[in-house]
Amino acid sequence: MTMLVQKYGGSSLKNTARIVAVADRVAVAAKSGPLVVVVSAMGDTTDHLIDLARSVADRPDKREIDMLLATGEQVSASLLAMSLHQRGVSAISLAGWQAGIRTDSVFSTARIRSVDTERIRHELTAGKVVIVTGFQGVGDETGWGEVTTLGRGGSDATAVALAAGLGDCRCEIYSDVTGIFSADPRIVPEARKLSEITYEEMLELAQYGAQVMMPRSIELAQLWSVPLEVRSSYAAESGTRIGGTMEYGNRVAGVAHQTDVAKVTFVGLADRPGIAHTIFSALAKRRIHADLIVQNIGQHGRTDLSFTVAEGDLEAAMEVAEEIRGDVDAQAVTSKGGMAKVSVVGAGLSSSAEYASTMFGALAETGVNIDMISTSGIRLTCVIDGNRAEETVRSLHAAFHLGEDASWQASA
Amino acid sequence: MTMLVQKYGGSSLKNTARIVAVADRVAVAAKSGPLVVVVSAMGDTTDHLIDLARSVADRPDKREIDMLLATGEQVSASLLAMSLHQRGVSAISLAGWQAGIRTDSVFSTARIRSVDTERIRHELTAGKVVIVTGFQGVGDETGWGEVTTLGRGGSDATAVALAAGLGDCRCEIYSDVTGIFSADPRIVPEARKLSEITYEEMLELAQYGAQVMMPRSIELAQLWSVPLEVRSSYAAESGTRIGGTMEYGNRVAGVAHQTDVAKVTFVGLADRPGIAHTIFSALAKRRIHADLIVQNIGQHGRTDLSFTVAEGDLEAAMEVAEEIRGDVDAQAVTSKGGMAKVSVVGAGLSSSAEYASTMFGALAETGVNIDMISTSGIRLTCVIDGNRAEETVRSLHAAFHLGEDASWQASA
């Protein structure tokens, strides 16, 4: 019998009334077979705990932060178990260390190394709904059990890892959105909820603006072939299934966008080996993530190299750039804030040249200037003026007919 | 080198400002040698968590209540560790399951079975202050690790058990009172803080009204010969030492009192074996604690039996009494609420008859009628009208000269 892992995020567990609502939903799902439920901390609990930590220490120790934050999920897990008991549903809550979520010992950003599902299977066999604290595990590399937390998107990672560890298991990710859309519905009213999408498409959408799931958990699901479904805990409707096949024809899935993007350009760089390494290792040392990197073809032994960073990292990135400017023999370093990235994502992009033409055509028609272009096999990204982002998303959504029932397919 | 266990209760950890104040105190103590600190949950955290539980379930499951409540101490322990780091003091927090506090699996009122101090010793050897969550442990009778809590007075029990497990270890219990007094200072302004007291005296005081420590932890300290000191975290002054010797001469240590006491009397009982068993097993079944039991000498094959209960239990106790009245062949059952127990406690009571005379003399002079009398080797208790309790405590405190520097000694 296929098992099910459901994950409820903080937005689904804002208060005890919401926990009761989730218990109603879990009670129904429990009738269909073995069920594991992964929970995040309630609403703003984690922020509140971090405030407490900051009131006693300027830079709280990460091990102790993990001890502190891990209490959040333990509270929501035990309350959900009680709420299920109240409905006559047999249930048990397990903290990360009890549920066999084994991690490395990198506090605050631990990675799951393995999942020992013995206890969970024991409780499932006893007919219980097993509620597992998300976002946390036990690091035992030192021989002692240490409470670790998994960093951003950690509860999704817990859910996917448990589904992988249990085997033959589906995974439902609940939040306050009903699924993955062909574009952000706040910007494109006719955006359509996708009924299914590939892991690759979901990864690209997540990396280029869709905030429903972190790339890390999508990668994990793909690696272990765990079928995902993104759903809302506030609605009965089905969500978006994320699955393994690329066989969706040459369609476009959706348009993603990110604002608050800044561009840094090294102008007239020496065109010799090692230059890029010098630049990006210096950025990495300061923990600045450069996510779109474009180098133009060089002339006269000189080349231009641009990359994007989050607007908030621009000042630090420019400090680094000025420091290393001499080392890389750049003629100048320029920057430009207030940009946006707009991406078209779809499995079909790998098989047709028509998509690029459609995208650039739509941008030209809207009169939007393209600052940078970057592509992957299933994604086309343009960096443009941030003020034009919303209308660009709308025009691309229309150009690819993404609001229509069958998604747009190239004629190629 | 003698080790030290300090325990800070919720009243010492009301908010993060108080945690910082406790960190200052711990930082000083850490300079003198190996230090383990046991913490309760912050202020009213436990009450808040219980409110959450009650908002999702009418009768929350005890296992899940323990999962929920155990988070309270984990929060305060991690915050105290961070606050020590901020002072440059090396420290680490350990939850009950990490600190080797092994309990039985009676959720919500677990008893400590053993303490495995291996991890704590490891961290002490590494030069760290070890902060242990009080009130909780790990029950592993089922083969799985379960979070358990120890019930009322649990954090004191954790501290004493750790001191016993570590061996050659003193234990300081911090709260918002500066020590054990010869009487409640709110009632007797001239009440004197005792510099030392025996385990037996402390036990009697705790059982008959002093609320600083629960009897359970005092018994544990006596059993394992752990030297205790009761102190205030709000003051620098030394507190009251609780130690093993009975060699304090024939002194009286203090006067304890309890109000909200009710008396139940079975009048004209059949004077035959098994009657008392029938009465008290019926009360125990309803979880009614009868704590002073007095039976008068019978006449004509009939006897009177009285006991006290908490005022809040009187109605239930009378229901039980009416149910079993026929079985025990009683002529009548009477009750009287609004009573008080006033007790004189001191190691010296075991060696002199003069104390009883002094006590009854003081009561006669004040014109207070005595409803019941009960004694142990080192305690004399009278049950009286609750409205007369405070003046009686004052008159006894004066009669035994307890406000004077050297405590009163019988001339016998």
pLDDT digit string, tens, across residues A278-332:
999 999 998 898 888 888 776 777 888 999 999 999 999 999 999 999 888 899 9
The answer for residues whose C-beta is within 8 angstroms of residue B141's C-beta and 6 or more apart is B104, B105
Contacts of B17 (CB under 8 A, 6+ apart): none
How high is the ipTM of this complex?
0.86
- Interface contact A63, partner B, CB < 8 A: yes
Same domain, A162 and A21: yes
Longest dimension (CA), chain A: 77
Q: Within 13 Å of residue B339, how many CA atoms lie on the same side as its CB?
A: 25
Q: Does B58 touch chain A (CB under 8 A)?
A: yes
Determine the pLDDT at residue B274. 84
Beta carbons of B83 and A145 less than 8 Å apart? no
Nearest CA to B395 among B337, B340, B344?
B344
Total residue length of chain B: 412
A266 pLDDT exceeds 50? yes
Q: How far is B96 from chain A (nearest CA, A)?
A: 12
Distance from CA of B20 to the nearest CA of A (A): 6
A81 closest CB neighbour out of B49, B61, B93: B61
Judged by a CB distance cut-off of 8 A, whether residue A58 touches chain B is yes
Q: Which residues in chain A have Cβ-Cβ distances shorter than 8 Å to B39?
A: none
Hey, are the CB atoms on B92 and A63 less than 8 Å from each other? yes
Query: A48 touching B, CB under 8 A?
Result: no
Higher model confidence: residue A143 or residue B75? B75
Instruction: Choose one of A153, A176, A199: the last residue of a domain.
Output: A176
pLDDT at B229: 96
Alpha carbon of B125: minimum distance to chain A alpha carbons (Å): 15
Residues A216, A51: contact at Cβ < 8 Å? no
Structural domain that includes position A394: 255-399
- Check whether residue A285 and residue A389 sit in a common domain: yes
Closest chain A CA to residue B46: A75
| 3-class DSSP assignment, residue A170 | strand
Specify the DSSP element, H or E, that contains B78. Answer: helix B62-86
In terms of domains, do A149 and A270 share one? no
Domain assignment present for residue B260? The answer is no
Is residue B89 in some structural domain?
yes
Token pair, residue A211, equals 């905030």
The amino acid that residue A223 corresponds to is: L
pLDDT value, residue A21:
97
* A243 vs B364: CA distance, rounded Å: 89
Please give the average per-residue pLDDT across A50-56, as a whole number. 97
Nearest to A67 among B19, B78, B144 (CB): B78
Disruptive mutation site among B42, B48, B64, B129 for chain A (greatest number of A CBs within 10 Å)? B64
Length of chain A: 412
Cα–Cα distance between A157 and A177 in angstroms, integer?
19
- B93: nearest CB among A16, A55, A67: A67
* Residue B280, token pair as written in the block: 């008290």
Tell me if chain A has a CB within 8 Å of the CB of B132.
Answer: no
Asked if residue A407 has pLDDT above 50, the reply is no
In-domain check, residue A99: yes
The minimal CB distance from A68 to the residues B49, B55, B75 is found for B75
Is A75 close to B68, i.e. CB distance below 8 A?
A: yes
pTM: 0.88
Q: Please name the residue of chain A whose CA is at the shortest distance from the CA of residue B23.
A: A56
Nearest to A145 among B79, B86, B98 (CB): B98
Please check whether residue A112 is in contact with residue A150, taking contact to mean a CB–CB distance below 8 angstroms.
Answer: yes
Residue at A231 is within a domain? no
**B83 with A56: Cβ contact below 8 A:** yes
Q: Does A71 touch chain B (CB under 8 A)?
A: yes
Q: State residue B245's pLDDT score.
A: 65
First to last CA, chain B: 42
- How far is it, in rounded angstroms, from Cα A219 to Cα B54? 40
Is position A170 within any domain? yes
Strands B196-198 and A146-149, bridge-based pairing: unpaired
- Let me know if residue A232 belongs to a domain: no
**Chosen from B49, B73, B75 to mutate, greatest number of chain A CBs within 10 A:** B75
Task: Give tens-digit pLDDT for A149-173.
Answer: 999 889 999 999 999 999 999 999 9
Q: What is the CATH number of the domain that holds B157?
A: 3.40.1160.10
Split into its structural domains, chain B has a count of: 1
Which of B64, B85, B98 minimises the CB distance to A57? B85
Name the residue of chain A whose CA is nearest to B132's CA. A67
Which of A14, A51, A79 has the highest number of chain B CBs within 10 A, making it the mutation to test binding with B?
A79
Q: Is A131 a member of any domain?
A: yes
Last residue of a domain, one of A137, A159, A176: A176
In angstroms, the CA A389 to CA B89 distance is 51
Whether residue B36 lies inside any domain: the answer is yes
Cβ A58–B122 below 8 Å, yes or no?
no
- Cβ-nearest to A74 among B52, B67, B144: B67
Last residue of a domain, one of A176, A210, A235: A176
Average pLDDT, 10 consecutive residues per value, chain B (412 residues): 93 96 97 97 94 96 97 98 98 98 95 96 97 96 93 93 96 94 93 92 88 89 94 94 70 91 91 86 90 80 89 94 91 94 87 82 91 87 94 94 64 36
The DSSP bridge pattern shows strands A228-232 and A292-295 to be: unpaired
CB pair distance less than 8 Å for B71 and A67: no
Considering the domain architecture, whether residues A123 and A7 belong to the same structural domain is answered as yes
Torsion of CA A260, A261, A262, A263, to 10 degrees: -160
Which residue type is seen at A321? A
Question: How far does Cα A86 stand from its chain's mean position?
Answer: 34
Q: What is the CATH number of the domain that holds A370?
A: 3.30.2130.10
- β-pairing verdict for B292-295 and B332-345: unpaired
Q: What are A412's two structure tokens?
A: 């190629």
Q: Kindly state whether B409 is in contact with chain A, defined as any CB-CB distance less than 8 angstroms.
A: no
Biggest CA-to-CA distance, chain B? 77
Structure confidence at residue B248 (pLDDT): 57
End-to-end CA gap in chain A: 42
Rg over alpha carbons for chain B, rounded to the nearest Å, is: 23
Sheet holding A136-139, edge to edge: A112-115, A101-103, A136-139, A146-149
Interface test with B, best of A75, A117, A121 (most B CBs within 10 A): A75
Least Cα distance to A4 among A33, A24, A26 occurs for A33
Tens digits of residue pLDDT in A120-136: 999 999 999 999 999 99
Check CB contact of A60 with chain B, cutoff 8 Å. yes
Same-domain check for residues A289 and A393: yes
Coil, helix or strand for B265?
strand
Distances (CA, A) of B261 to B86, B183, B309, B332: 49, 19, 6, 21
The structure tokens 């574009």 sit at A183
Of A70, A119, A147, nearest to B144 by CB-CB distance is A119
Mean pLDDT of chain A: 91
